[in-house]
Structure 1
């Protein structure tokens, strides 16, 4: 996310200066969340190269955050994290920039399949870290759990941090972030903190400008745009193979000196074929204005350019179309994520290649099937907005079909909101049911199991009463979950359980309360409905399938391992060690994508409920709204580690002379501890995986009995269950 060429220049010219950490004692430090996570999770010794082979969150994420926060507390520093929001306008076609990650992942898997494990790890290690957006929701929860303030900026975090710093109330005293911060009216930025050494590194803009030959502050912005930003390409005459790092910066500096400004340089070469073909004059104007007049969220709840003087009246042309202030508020609190807002403001939803490569026909069909959920989300989002957004077309572009755009219809009749607005259940109905089920808080388990009571379900049919709106987070969450369950056809519009709903309720009731299997069970049943959770290999099939036993036994192992993949393996906060499976990583792509789309549907359901005044929007304070955001499910998908462990256990057991013998099973479990040396309790995780398997099988039996599944589909599960009982 940083200006790479300028950073190389800063490093080469030793512009980063050291200071003792004590200088920040009793201060509030504004932290750029994306910069922080990239810095914390990328350096040698901290980077987890096999994250690209496992999926899920970094094992060290929780430890990194908590260790950093402990260091700040010990130094007397109060942190405020600012996350990145909606993407800025990009004047380029989807996939215009090459993505080298896909080829590197393929190369790494090729090396792994040839038993070149060390080579594979090294190639995986060369790949850029996973996007920070994939860890942000979980990170917000950890920050909240540790009592740390955070917000999501409406757009980029740099300008928002500068606003917090320069405000008359001095919300923060210093900024820890990337060099882009210096493009604003800021004299210095902290770029690194070393708790062990008790120091920090910072960059002084005045010194940097002097090192650049006496450029002015405005010219530093010119130079940054010419060198290329994360949302705009470099000047074509600088974007050359022989001009890298410091040389690119010098070239940009010389252009600015010769033509007074970056814009002057660009206009001087307007007729150059490279400049003309890329329409770079327009690119430069947009990028320059997007930084200079960047939009921030004010302490009054409004939006405005960080520089209001001479601000143009067409900001929407280089930022994005403006949304209602209320929607930005929910964004800042993490209630609505930026992904769906990116799609709406840009008119495009870009589906990038998953970690496994996404070559299977089943995965691509699955993505097409998910378009109905995306339509629901967009309908919920746009229904209460201005007609401009209700009529705005949104298209999806897939990496494997990048020349074609597929429209996602969202002007539905009736609207999605109108189909679910009969859920307005208040505490007088909610609280007695919570007490009856011995539940303290509202969660997905409660939302599902409560509807098994037909009398209670009938009482939930509650049209909105304007004089008696929903008031509490508990009420908002419960009605959000019920609306979601109806949208996903677990409940009818009459609030009666469907066959799939009955399967869900029966299985959850039979499971352990403390297991909290509602979320993985919903994903399992959804993937069964999408024909993704089966005992069949995908086409084409990746390596990492079971290799021992008969074909029937291999199918049983694959199905059970896929179910186990719905849960994460619990691991030490270091890189993964153990066998890999690209095949199970492929199934993890299904889980991750469904979880992402389900989360968006949950978020837009909350927004729809609030924006349509089904709840009193003044009932909660800022902390309450933030807590609501981190309470929502489908925060992140699991890694494929437990699926690999389950496959390894059953596959290796198949190779034993007496696979059903208890002593053989115990030996294999001991062997697992060696194979997965850094897992905290791999045997305990396997046992939990089997409990989830039991829950899924119970749900499948009910679904088959209710006619929601064919006998052939259900038999794959029941036959595997009968086979595995003596191998657990």
Structure 2
């Protein structure tokens, strides 16, 4: 949640005060993760403008997190990051507000296509950072690797931070977050930390209320709701053009002064056509109560309103329908993401436009094809829940069909869980196989390759037996991976490899062990299956296609570049420098969306295993629970940078007199280093892209041999492979 108007008012009125950082030594600071990452991803003068043009994660994200954690450690401060959870009830219909970000992206690409590169970069720079939800899983992994604590709030991070601060056990000593924390019973909040200057900035509620003309604490909440929250619209009679400045705050303040409270102001104008049409009286009441009686996760594992006194009995009307406590527990540990829970509680998946513009017919068809995966995820999630959720109707709403809802069926017979619950492999079977493969831990690649042994595969058919539950995280993860592979048709219900599974194993065996190509190869095969990874251009097609060579050669380059796009380019923690391709960004949309939905399916598979008591849930300690969440695959999608580098290399090489000449190839690789000056090792990355290409080609050959794909589909890969071998 953010209220830009209030934040800008605080900035304009210079409400922040400075203190030396030494005052926070030996304290525990609770950090609003969303606020922190928005600060890190959009600092003045340092924002990465081309994240919207490349997809994937910001290059500076890892460095920002690790540098901040090192600074905290040096200052003697222990952090606890709090991520926001389930989205609150929204009173407005999907896509009711114009998509300013997409309008800006379209403007930027129009400028870039007209060779106005600097103008394009400036427009991209105006766009808000990518949603924090898209970086949260990767961020949790980095926090875990750096021994930093984190939790996911059931709903808003604000209330959860206040609970941790006000608890008698004093879980934290201070809050680092946005001014909206002051909507609760908190006197001060830290808004920024400057390690180089050795200080921090904080704001006081008392000073803020005085600056607002002597408003009371309850009236501050009124003002916030009138200005608008991310789950509710601002009061219609406040001038919309001033919502990014301070005039909206002053307008809301004057209304409260005149009518004593926000509710009084709303009721005074209840018959106004704009207020009446938007049903704002109801929207205001819901938003006000959602903040005041917000739900927090307690240290005893319960969910309670942060203010229990006079709390209404119909909290579900303005928060969301209550879920089982066990599910909230998995949410807090990062085992189950909020996206699927948002859909379940609201009844809607909201499918927003992709970074490239989402105009291609192929992408829209692809989204429709992915509904089957969403159906599997919902079935796994709802099967162990109350019948209310098993019967609840859930729809997906697309930005290009905002008035048409597509139902996602999830009350399946047999249930998805019943189709995969024969995977209960214990350590006595698993450890022996790991030793044979010379592996200590289980990952997705080990899970795939292990099933190439028919004898081992037969031994994994292990129905759950009373008293013989999975215990270790190793057992839980292995069985989660296998269940996922069966759901995606790489493995049969009898635990043998399907043609797609044989293709996957063949590809992995042809690759280097250290390359860890299981995830990108799975994505590649899935996108081939969905008719998305082809040598054909999409309809309509964006700019950034190969421009040299014959039409056949251009098709070869496009296909190879798309495969390379399944891997990220390794880059310095600064903004991208190099050519762009909206066409490859379009393919990145397929990769990103599949990765997101595959991650949700893996999470729901793990939840299903746990919620059906296939594992001993009391055997895990706190550290192991968080380990499960950060161990799951499909954490984040790659950017399109490596695909662009591959396309550039092959495309430019086509313009040479003899593209197969070793000297010409060496010159082109040297030129590649200049074009991608901030890449850590662009030539090495391109070589890795070629190794993934080899892996995919080997897998495609097996898939074609076993009839999983057609001869024509396979020929596109084998012909491109024959062409590229002398150009590598």
Taking structure 2 as the reference length, the TM-score comes to 0.99
CA-to-aligned-CA distance 1:338-391 (integer Å, 9 cap, x gap)? 000000000000000000001001000000000000000000000000000000
Q: How does 1:186-201 map to 2 (within 5 A)?
A: 186-201=186-201
TM-score (norm 1): 0.99
- Report the counterpart of residue 408 of structure 1 in structure 2: 408
Quote the offset at 1:10 in angstroms: 1.2
Deviation string, structure 1 residues 269-317 (Cα, Å, up to 9, x no partner): 1111111111110011000000000000000011000000000000000
Q: Give the Cα separation in 2 of the matches to 1:480 and 1:242.
A: 50
Measure how far apart 1:402 and its partner are.
0.5
CA distance in 2, matches of 1:241, 1:630: 42
Q: Residue by residue, what CA displacement relative to the aligned partner does 1:420-454 show, whole Å, maximum 9, x if unpaired?
A: 00000000000000000011110011110000000
State how far apart, in whole Å, the 2-side matches of 1:686 and 1:211 are.
57
Q: Contact conserved, 1:547 with 1:554, CA < 8 A, in 2?
A: yes
Q: How does 1:277-296 map to 2 (within 5 A)?
A: 277-296=277-296
Is 1:567–2:567 an aligned residue pair?
yes
Shift of 1:102: 1.1
Which residue in 1 is equivalent to 2:208? 208
Report the equivalent of 2:473: 473
Any idea what SS the aligned residue of 2:133 has? helix
In structure 2, how many angstroms separate the alpha carbons of the residues matched to 1:267 and 1:364?
Answer: 44
Q: Return the alpha-carbon distance in structure 1 between the equivalents of residues 618 and 97 of structure 2.
A: 44
Cα deviation per residue 1:518-572 (whole Å; 9 max; x = unaligned)? 0000000000000000000001000000000000000000000000000000000
**Judging changes above 3 Å, is the alpha-carbon distance between structure 1 residues 655 and 179 closer, same or farther for their aligned structure 2 residues?**
same
Alpha-carbon distance in structure 1 between the residues aligned to 2:699 and 2:88? 44
Match of 2:628 in 1: 628
CA distance in 1, matches of 2:640, 2:488: 25
Mean Cα displacement is larger for which, 5-14 or 702-711?
A: 5-14
- Contact kept in structure 1, 2:227 and 2:243, CA below 8 Å: no
Q: Tell me how far 1:2 sits from its aligned partner.
A: 2.5
Is residue 2:557 matched to residue 1:557? yes
Rounded Cα–Cα distance in structure 2 between residues aligned with 1:708 and 1:13 = 65
Equivalents in 2 of 1:205, 1:102: separation in Å?
Answer: 36
CA distance in 2, matches of 1:6, 1:646: 46
* Other-structure match for 1:524: 524
Instruction: Tell me if the contact between 2:5 and 2:243 (Cα under 8 Å) persists in the aligned partners.
Output: no
2:71 and 2:195 in contact (8 A); partners too: yes
Equivalence for 1:431: 431
Instruction: Show the counterpart of 1:53.
Output: 53
CA distances 1:672-701 after superposition (whole Å, capped 9, x unpaired): 000000000000000000000000000000
Give the corresponding residue for 2:667. Answer: 667
CA contact (8 A) 1:104 1:123 kept: yes
Q: Matches of residues 357-376 of structure 1 in structure 2 within 5 Å?
A: 357-376=357-376
Query: Shift of the alpha carbon at 1:238?
Result: 1.1
Q: 1:9 to 1:540 in 2, by over 3 A?
A: same
Which residue number corresponds to residue 447 of structure 1?
447
Deviation at 1:41, TM superposition (A): 1.1
* 1:394 counterpart = 2:394: yes
Give the match's secondary structure for 2:241. Answer: coil
Deviations 1:127-180 (A, max 9, x none): 111000000000000000000000000001000000000000000000000111
Q: Is the 8 A contact 2:480 2:606 kept in 1?
A: yes
By how many angstroms is 1:259 displaced?
1.3
Q: Judge conservation of contact 2:4–2:243 (CA < 8 Å) in 1.
A: no
Q: Equivalents in 1 of 2:443, 2:12: separation in Å?
A: 53
**How many Å separate the matches in 2 of 1:244 and 1:457?**
60
Q: 1:76-91 residue pairs with structure 2 within 5 A? A: 76-91=76-91
Task: Give 1:242 deviation, angstroms.
Answer: 5.8
Cα RMSD for the two superposed structures:
0.8
**Alpha-carbon separation, structure 2, partners of 1:236 and 1:244:** 15
The CA distance in 1 between the partners of 2:128 and 2:342, in whole Å, is 22
Distance 1:229 1:713 in 2: 49
Residues in 2 aligned to 1:537 and 1:579: alpha-carbon distance in whole angstroms = 19
In the alignment, the residues of structure 2 paired with residue 244 and residue 328 of structure 1 have an alpha-carbon distance, to the nearest angstrom, of 35
Partner of 1:591: 591
Equivalent residue runs for 1:170-249 within 5 Å: 170-241=170-241, 245-249=245-249
Aligned counterpart, 1:605: 605
Corresponding position of 2:320: 320
Query: Closer, same or farther in 2 for the Cα pair 1:33/1:244, shift >3 Å?
Result: closer
Q: How many residues align?
A: 728
Q: What is residue 678 of structure 1 aligned with on the other side?
A: 678
Q: CA deviation at 1:14?
A: 1.3
Partner of 1:639: 639
Partner-residue secondary structure (3-state), 1:619: coil
- In the other structure, the counterpart of 1:136 is 136
Q: Separation in 2 of the partners of 1:45 and 1:426?
A: 54
Counterpart of 1:452 in 2: which secondary structure?
coil
Residue in structure 2 matched with residue 650 of structure 1 by the alignment: 650
Q: Distance in 2 between matches of 1:649 and 1:407?
A: 45
Q: What residue number does 1:70 align with?
A: 70
Deviation at 1:509, TM superposition (A): 1.1
* Cα contact 1:340–1:600 (8 A) shared by 2: yes
1:105 aligned to 2:125?
A: no
After the TM superposition, which residues 5-44 of structure 1 pair with which residues of structure 2 at under 5 Å, given as runs?
A: 5-44=5-44
1:240–1:637 Cα change, 3 Å: closer
Q: Secondary structure at the match of 1:615?
A: coil
Q: State the match for 1:724 in structure 2.
A: 724
> SS state of the match for residue 151, structure 1?
strand
Q: Is the 8 A contact 1:2 1:179 kept in 2?
A: no
- Partner of 1:241: helix, strand, or coil? helix
Q: CA deviation at 1:244?
A: 5.9
